[in-house]
Structures are given as structure tokens and as C-alpha cells.
A and B are shown apart, each in its own frame.
Chain A
Amino acid sequence: MRRREGLAKLTGRELYTDDLAVPGCLWGATVRSPAPRGRIREIRYSDSVDWSEFTVVDHRDIPGPNEILLIESDQPVLAADRIRHMHEPVALIAHPSRDAVRRALGAISILVDPEPPILDFLADPGPEQIQHGSDNVFSRLEISKGDVDRVLANAARIIEGEYHTGAQEHVSIEGQAMLAWCDGDVLVVKGSMQCPYYVQKALIHALARDSDHVRVIQAPTGGGFGGKEEYPSTVALHAALLTLKAGAPVKIVFERGEEMVATTKRHPARIRHRTAVDGDGRLLAQDIDVVLDAGAYATLSPVVLSRAIIHAAGPYHCDHVRIRGRAVLTNAVPFGAFRGFGAPQTQFAGERHMDRIARIMAIDPVDLRRQNLLRDGQSTSTGQVISDGTDREAVLDRALELSDYRARSDAHAEFNWTHPYLRRGINFATIFHGAGFTGSGEVYLDSRVHLAGLPDGTVEVLTANSEMGQGATTIFVQITCEHLGLAPDEVIVADPDTARVPNSGPTVASRTAMIVGRLIERAGDDLIAQLGLAPGTRGSAVREAIIAWHQVHSGEALLGTAVYKPPSTVQWDDEKYRGDAYGAFAWATYVAEVEVDLRTCGVRVTDFVAVQEIGKVLNETLARGQIQGGVAQGIGWALFEECRWENGAMANPQLTNYILPTSADLPPLRVEFLENPYEHGAQGAKGIGELPIDGPAPAIVNAIATAMGVDPCRIPLTPEVLMQLESGVPR
């Protein structure tokens, strides 16, 4: 099936938030802190502007608690007296002219009495830098399996490594954008977002309203990647406060620079490994320490940390594993959700470490993976017994075959002996990614989906899950058509609008096709039952029964409903952090080939092969697009995308100096799927969206290590860093 909204997007007719012409609309903007930490002494509005033309909002205008509702709700909607990071929102202004708003921002100064910030997440905070609990640690988690200390104490061989990953900016081509207005006594917010019910809950909380008086609608969304998971709540609150005070519609649209300095990014991380290995390369014990820079507020850091540590030991069997993680406060702009959600950081470290183990032990890196890959009946670090029947070695083998790994390894070794300044290498990473919320998360979400039979026989899919480019709308139509035997023009998908759709959970965590898709199937079953049809009835009989039902029940709604129920086999212990962390994992091996120019230390990725098992592939074009897009982001994170920091804020907030991969920087990204249908996913689907960002960085850096005989342990591996490594300068 072709992308449902594809033609609207290709012709530029899809209307995003900034494209909506709204009569009488004001432009809103955010006044931001000029310091990383301190107390606000005064907000000074210069006389050069006629402020009577403006709507001005500060924390005193917030009707409810001055909190952005999330895990800890520690982040204020607008800073009242304390500043915790650069560019923190302090006040809001709105005016009919966007130019006037821009000029007025320059006429407001925030005077701050500075306090000592902590800007290095690996440094011990001094007493005057403590801002959370007794040690600035937002969250601490530990996974423990077996007896790591005993095995390490007796181990003949322990291999250690320390790995660092940098922040990454989402750079969805459409930035944050939100429109708010009042419809009678109902506040309506429409904008670019992944999770309308997150936004609605945040508005209800801080504006002290009930759900009947807050309506949130997702507008067409030009990319998310996690950057529109939690952050839109802030923008929505700001637009809402302005519209409530101004009595006029207000639009807030971030320009690129504001987007890059003010919004969340991928958490920087440091990961340490101590691994006991026997002479054959069997993993005897893994001791892993993970530290995430959370930034100034908790946001989603505790759950990012959770996913990070659960993926830290890799797709391998080991009887003795300890993984300790902590997410710590710094006075940097808060870090938040980004595709992969902690797993890319820990799997970069894990797969780089596996490659180093192979090198140090003089074991073939393929044999090392093969020796340790999880087999059915073995368990992950949390004790989750894997029994999905996927042949993980076949995934590895197919990737090596497709990339011609053996022959090219040999050819490159010869090439590198003779070429004066080019070095080639091919190497790989073996990864996994759990789909859906971690542990009991899906149970707490209590997701529900409706399938409505409409009077003309059409079926309408009602979910809160958003199309942001990944293809959710198309997949929902496809699943409904397949399950009920309908044609694509007999199925429509409702816009995510809290006034119309049930809460089917957020559009995150690679859960949409697998979990929400399965709910659509079950809601279809319920619709069939309500129509009095035999289970499994499909096609015209369904359509005719819907039309007939409406002739009898004129004016009533015909709704099939499904509510999430966990598979009975899934057990998770939140206290001990043990059990089935995810309903399903996707498995992959990614192979990268690189060419390094020793004169510049520039790296070219010359080939990339991504082989994965993701259950059933629902739509080949969309699935391939997800993998290729994720791989491109992963290549950017590995080689190009460097956030440079100054006072805890990005000092390079422009696409001129924060470098994304262009088409010319990438080779064709070769994708292949192996299929092993997952019984609890829609039509056998498992999650797919995040998996592809886990593999590129370790595969590429391993390939660079092979090409150059260096041992890089830090990304982004820019030419500057590589040059220092190459010249032997320790880094």
C-alpha cells in the first residue's frame, strides 16, 4: 500500500502548523534565561518598546501548579525565581507582527544573580552545586544476574573499556510549532507533536482545568524522532498561557536556532565495561557502569536510563551480569527522548567493546559474536528467557554474506599495506532493540483503541497515535483492511484529537505497529462481535452489516473497542528489575565499510548493509524507509553531528556548523529483512522504528578501528578526534 498522505506531502498541500492561516492570530515567543544557573533578580522591559501592544506572561499567570507534568514534574512552565539552565523559559510575549515580536525580545533583559553551575556530568559536584537530593542523581538503577564479583575475582582475563557518546539534536525539518485558541470555554491546542494525551495532561495540570476543557489536536507533524515526545508540552503550555491572557489565537513556531539551543537532545553518556572472558572468547562476566547527563531537569531521564541499561549487555548470553546506571543533573539544557532512548549509547559501547575484546584476545570478531549470541532458552541480563525462535546467527551470517565481509576484509588488508594515504576497513555490530514500553509500562498505559463503523459502511480507526513520517496512518489502514477484508477506500483514520480519539498511548518506543496495531485488530474483532457476525467475518459482509446496523440504530455510534492486555507469558518485577523487559526484541547485524583519508582524517562510509529480523514486515517501502532513515541518523551521530557546549547550551545551533549527513555523504543503504512473525504483534509485526539507530555508530567506528589500527572510544568521531588518535595523542 502506498503512503496514505504521500501525495499531499509530495505536492506541498499537507498543512503543518506554521502553514495554517489563522485570522487575528498573534505570534508568541519565549523570553529565555541568559545564564546557566542563578536567581532571577529582575526582568527589565526596555522603554524602547510600547509594551501596551503586547501580551506579556510570566509565572504569575499560571493558574495551576507551575510544573510541566512528567515523571518528576520538577520543571517549571516558566522560571519563577531560580534559573537552572541557559535558555530556560522565563516569560512569554505575543503580538500580531512576528517582526515586532523578534525586535521586542531584544528589549527584555533578565538580570540574574549567578550561582555556581555544574556543567560536567562526570565531575563530582561541590556542596554549592547540589541541586537535587544529596548528590544530584535523578535516578539510579541496577540490574544484577549471577555473581559478578566472584567471577571477576577469579577471572584469568578481564578486559576493560571506557566509552563516551555525545549529545545529538533531532533536527526534524519542521521544528516545534503550536497553535492555541479558545473555543468557548474549551482551550484548544493544535500542533506538531507525537503524544496528544501527554500534552493534554500537562495542560490540565498546570492550567488547573479538567479534560472537558482542554482539547489537543495533532497537526501534521514534520518529523519527531523523540523531539516531539515530551517537549511539545512546554510549547503548548506557553501558547495556551498567551492565548488565555490575550483572548486571541496564538501561534509559537521555533526557528532553527531556538530549536537547537532550547530543546531536548540525546543524552550524552559514559559507559565503562569490565568483562571476564575465557580463552575461547566466551563471556564469563560483564560488569557495566552507565552514566547519563540528564541536564537540568529530570524529564524522561529515569526511563531513558532504564532502556539504556537493559540494552547495555548486548544480545548475548552471560550468566553473570551487573549493570549499574545513574542519570545525573547538570546545568545543561535538559536531555530527553530521542529515537533509541538510551540503547544507542550503551550498544555503541557494548559493540565497540566486543570488537576490542576480539582484537585483544586475537579472536575472530565474527566467532566472538557467534559464540555468545543468545540462543533460545538462554536469558538476557534481566533474566528474560528468549524463546522467539529467531535464528540470530542467520541474521549475522546474512549480513556478512550480503556485505561480502570476508573477501573485502582480505582485500582491504592488502590495500592498506600498499596505499600511501587511504585506509579501508569493514566491520560490523550485532544489536537488538526491545519494542514497546519497558517492563510493566504497557500495562500502566492501559491503551485503548476504537474502530467505528460509519453509516456508509466505512470503518474509521480512532487512536491517539500520530503520523510523523514513519507511516502510522498507512499501517493502520493496512492492518484494518487486512484484518476485516476491506478495501483501502473503505477505511479512514481519525486525526489524533483528544475530543474524538481514545488514549492509545504515546507514539514512541517502537510500539505503534506492534502494540497499537494489534489493538486495532482486536477492536475489529469486537466490531464484528457487536454486529452479531461470526468471528473472522470479512469483506462485504462486514460493510453490509455496518450499514444495516445503522438503519436500525439511527444516530447511534457503532464502536468496536480494544484495551491492552499483556501477553500472559510476560512477567516483570519493577522492584528487582528482573523479568521480561519487553514483549519482543528485534535483532540485527549492521556492516559498515569505510575509507579514511590519512591526510585529512576524513571518513567516507563506502557501503552499509543492514540485516534485521523484525517479525513480519507489514509494508516493505515504509519498513525500508525506517531502517534507512535511522541508519542515516546513526551515521550522523557517529561521524558528523557534534553539539559544542558553552555554559551548558549548544554553541553551534545552526545547520551551518552542526553537520547533518547529506545524500552525498552516504552510500546506498542496503536493507534486508528476515521474518519471524511475533504472535502478539499486528499481523506478526515487531517494533522497528528505533532499532536502526543502535547499529551504525559501533559498526562504523569498528570499521575505522580496523582500517587504521586505532582504538577510538568516543563519538562523534570527527576528523579532529581521529587525527589526534592517529598521531598518538591520548584522548
Chain B
Amino acid sequence: MNGSTGERKTISFTLNGESVSMEVTARERLLDLLRYRLGLPGTKEGCGEGECGACTVLWNGLPVDSCLVPAFQAEGRTIETIESVDPAALGPFHEGGATQCGACTPGVVITARWILDNPGLLKTHTVRELMAGNLCRCTGYDGIIESIEAALDTQGGN
């Protein structure tokens, strides 16, 4: 896709379990589509260049930085944002000090959900390694890592 800024395309994808059809421009980022046009401001922008992970969403079940994804690429995909996360599943995170200022938190929770959905990852990686794509400036990461480990225990994974 090398269209000019003005080029438009209608795309369809599944967002948080519902079908969405949107006209997007070639330059539009998935992050902006979610935040400013679909009314889902839970996904945050931290750096705009795929370093901090604040904008992480699940893309066909895998965590990606939505600031790096052109919106048109969402055609036919399944995307889940922080708004899809069940608050009832977040007890260990609330208890364990996984959030402080909250700006990195949606991305952290999405990556955590990827780990919780795929506990087999822990055969080759530690939680600490798997979380390295999400920068947090408040917690020093222990609150996040311990919360994920507690949530894994709760769901009987590991």
C-alpha cells in the first residue's frame, strides 16, 4: 500500500467481538482510529514509535503496538483493546500494585492477557522477559510481574 495521504479505503474487521466497517486513509494509524474515531481512548499513546508499548492491542491474539500499524492493515483481522478486558479478571492486578499513574497500564494489561491466554510461553520465557516490551516509569515492574504471576496461579496455568 503506497497510496497518497488522500487515498481512502473501506475496511472491515472484528473489534472487541463486534464487526466494524470504516473508511480509512492510507496514513491513518490504528491507534488514532481506535482513540479518535471509534471512541476507545483506553489505548494510550506513549511514544509513537513502538518503543513503550502503551498502545498495545491484541491483533489476532498477538500483542502489537497500534501506533506502528496502518489502520488499513486491520482488514479481516480480529482486534481486542483494553475495553474488552473483563474487570473481574483484574483482581490480582489491583491487589498487587500493578498500576500507578495508569498511562502504561492498558498496554501492560493487554500484554498480560496475552501471557495469561498463552501460558505455554512460560516454558521458554519468564514473565519478566515477556513484559520487556511495555515500559513503565512508575512501578519498577515488580508490582506488574507479581500480579501476572498471581493471576497465573489463580487460573491454574503455569
Query: What residues make up the interface of A, taking CB atoms closer than 8 Å to B?
Result: 2-3, 5-16, 18-19, 21, 170-174, 220-225, 255-257, 468-471, 621-622, 624-625, 627-633, 654-656, 660, 662-666, 668-669
A256 and B103 in contact (CB under 8 A), knowing A621-B97, A631-B140, A669-B140? no
A2 and B137 in contact (CB under 8 A), knowing A221-B101, A469-B100? no
CB proximity of B108 to chain A, nearest CB, Å: 9
Whether A171 pairs with B137 at a CB distance below 8 angstroms is: yes
Whether B132 pairs with A663 at a CB distance below 8 angstroms is: yes
Q: How long is the Cα–Cα vector from A624 to B98 in the complex, in angstroms?
A: 11
Closest residue on chain A to residue B5 by CB atoms: A99
Residue of A13, A173, A632, A656 touching B103 (CB-CB under 8 A): A173
Residue of A222, A224, A622, A628 touching B102 (CB-CB under 8 A): A222
Extra contacts, 4 of them, besides A21-B39, A663-B145 (Cβ < 8 A), are A11-B42, A11-B87, A173-B54, A621-B97
Whether A7 pairs with B83 at a CB distance below 8 angstroms is: no
Whether A663 pairs with B141 at a CB distance below 8 angstroms is: yes
Whether A5 pairs with B102 at a CB distance below 8 angstroms is: yes
B residues less than 8 Å from A625 (CB atoms): 97, 100, 138-140, 143
CB proximity of B38 to chain A, nearest CB, Å: 11
Q: Contact flags (1/0) for B40-71 with A, using CB distance below 8 Å?
A: 01111111110110100000000000000000
A7 and B87 in contact (CB under 8 A), knowing A12-B82, A628-B142, A654-B47? yes
A18 and B139 in contact (CB under 8 A), knowing A174-B101, A223-B101, A663-B128? no
Closest residue on chain B to residue A633 by CB atoms: B137
Q: Counting CB contacts under 8 A, is B96 at the interface?
A: yes
A residues less than 8 Å from B52 (CB atoms): 173, 655
Q: How long is the Cα–Cα vector from A21 to B41 in the complex, in angstroms?
A: 9
Q: How long is the Cα–Cα vector from A628 to B98 in the complex, in angstroms?
A: 12
Residue of B48, B54, B106, B143 touching A621 (CB-CB under 8 A): B143
8 Å CB interface, B119-158 against A: 128-129, 131-145
Closest residue on chain B to residue A13 by CB atoms: B42
In the assembled complex, 12 residue pairs joining A and B whose CB atoms fall closer than 8 Å, in A order, are A7-B94, A9-B99, A9-B105, A10-B94, A11-B85, A12-B44, A220-B102, A624-B142, A655-B49, A656-B49, A660-B137, A664-B128
Q: How long is the Cα–Cα vector from A687 to B44 in the complex, in angstroms?
A: 31
A632 and B141 in contact (CB under 8 A), knowing A15-B41, A663-B132? yes
Closest residue on chain A to residue B94 by CB atoms: A6
Binding site of B, secondary structure by majority: helix, strand, loop or mixed? loop
CB proximity of A703 to chain B, nearest CB, Å: 18
CB proximity of B58 to chain A, nearest CB, Å: 13
Residue pairs across A and B with CB atoms within 8 Å: the count is 177
Residue of A8, A18, A664, A666 touching B45 (CB-CB under 8 A): A18
Whether B137 pairs with A223 at a CB distance below 8 angstroms is: yes
Q: How long is the Cα–Cα vector from A622 to B138 in the complex, in angstroms?
A: 11
CB proximity of B8 to chain A, nearest CB, Å: 14
Closest residue on chain A to residue B126 by CB atoms: A664
Closest residue on chain A to residue B46 by CB atoms: A173
A19 and B41 in contact (CB under 8 A), knowing A622-B97, A624-B97? yes
Q: How long is the Cα–Cα vector from A627 to B143 in the complex, in angstroms?
A: 11
Q: Counting CB contacts under 8 A, is B26 at the interface?
A: no
CB proximity of A310 to chain B, nearest CB, Å: 27
Closest residue on chain A to residue B127 by CB atoms: A663
Q: Counting CB contacts under 8 A, is B109 at the interface?
A: yes
Q: Counting CB contacts under 8 A, is B24 at the interface?
A: no
Q: Counting CB contacts under 8 A, is B104 at the interface?
A: yes
Whether A666 pairs with B138 at a CB distance below 8 angstroms is: no
A12 and B100 in contact (CB under 8 A), knowing A173-B135, A625-B139, A629-B140? no
A residues less than 8 Å from B82 (CB atoms): 11-12
Whether A173 pairs with B132 at a CB distance below 8 angstroms is: no
B residues less than 8 Å from A21 (CB atoms): 39, 41
B residues less than 8 Å from A624 (CB atoms): 97, 142-143
CB proximity of A195 to chain B, nearest CB, Å: 16
Q: Counting CB contacts under 8 A, is B90 at the interface?
A: yes
Whether B142 pairs with A173 at a CB distance below 8 angstroms is: no
Q: Counting CB contacts under 8 A, is B117 at the interface?
A: no
Whether A629 pairs with B139 at a CB distance below 8 angstroms is: yes
Whether A629 pairs with B129 at a CB distance below 8 angstroms is: no
B residues less than 8 Å from A16 (CB atoms): 41, 44, 102-103
Most buried by B among A15, A173, A662: A173
Whether B41 pairs with A222 at a CB distance below 8 angstroms is: no
B residues less than 8 Å from A660 (CB atoms): 135, 137
Q: Counting CB contacts under 8 A, is B93 at the interface?
A: yes
